[in-house]
Amino acid sequence: MLSLYVDDMIITSDGFDGIESLKIALSHCFTIKDFGVLHYFFGIKVVSSSKDYLLSQSKYIADLFERA
């Protein structure tokens, strides 16, 4: 699965080889940077396990309270 928003992209798959193949193919057409394992995306904290992903906006909400 590839999620793209403007110039930010998340690639996820059941297999590491598929991700690497896609990154290589994209790098032939575009300049890309690999920031490694996803931890934050648009203020959403991402924690992954072998079975699923946990998404949390607690940091985003704390930042909103701090600004207010």
| DSSP conformation letters of 8-63 | EEEE--S-HHHHHHHHHHHHHHS------S--EETTEEEEE-SS-EEEE-HHHHHH
Predicted local confidence at residue 22, as pLDDT: 92
Q: Is residue 31 located within the same domain as residue 44? A: no
Q: Dihedral, CA atoms, 11, 21, 36, 64, nearest 10 degrees?
A: -20
7 and 31 in one domain?
Answer: yes
**Do 42 and 68 belong together in one domain?**
yes
50 and 62 housed in the same domain: yes
- Domain identity same for 30 and 41: no
- Is residue 45 domain-shared with residue 31, that is, in the same domain? no
**Domain with 55 in it:** 37-68
Tens digits of residue pLDDT in 5-62: 888 889 888 888 989 999 999 999 999 999 988 888 888 899 988 888 899 998 888 8
Domain total in the chain: 2
Residue 67 pLDDT class (50, 70, 90 cuts):
very high
Res. 65 pLDDT band, cuts 50 70 90: very high
In a shared domain, residues 16 and 42: no
Q: What is the pLDDT of residue 12?
A: 85
pLDDT score at 59: 83
